[in-house]
Amino acid sequence: MILIIGGDKIEPIKEFLKEKQGEDIVEHWDGRKVRVTHKIIPTQTNHILLITDYLNHNTMYHFKKEAKRKNIPIICSKRSVNSVAQSYTDYANR
């Protein structure tokens, strides 16, 4: 499962992840309100995609810290599908 945090209209990103990355389950949290930091990362999360255009710094910091604590990889990207694709390529080439 991929957890996407941030962004509003992410249907094209979901389609990209299903087609190119083979992920069937994609969960999305919009990240606009600070209370999203009270949510718990699901245990079946393979990695987290942070859409940085629509996240405040505290939310981003919180989820980076939680993901590191749980050994869940994080990929940061802007909102466009091209940016997401490039971020996945960069992550794979690390």
The residue-averaged pLDDT of 65-90 equals: 94
46 belongs to a structural domain: yes
| pLDDT tens digits, 54-71 | 788 888 999 999 999 999
31 belongs to a structural domain: no
9 belongs to a structural domain: no
25 belongs to a structural domain: no
What pLDDT does 9 receive?
A: 85
What pLDDT does 24 receive?
A: 78
Instruction: Count how many domains the chain has.
Output: 1
What pLDDT does 21 receive?
A: 77
d(CA 71, CA 38): 19
Query: Could you write out the three-class secondary structure of the chain?
Result: CEEEECCCCCHHHHHHHHHHCCCCCEEEECCCCHHHHHCCCCCCCCEEEEEHHHCCHHHHHHHHHHHHHCCCCEEEECCCHHHHHHHHHHHHCC
Contact between 52 and 76 under an 8 Å Cβ cutoff? The reply is yes
Q: What is the mean pLDDT of the chain?
A: 90
What pLDDT does 34 receive?
A: 77
Comparing 33 with 85, the larger pLDDT belongs to 85
71 belongs to a structural domain: yes
Q: Which domain holds residue 93?
A: 41-94
pTM: 0.90
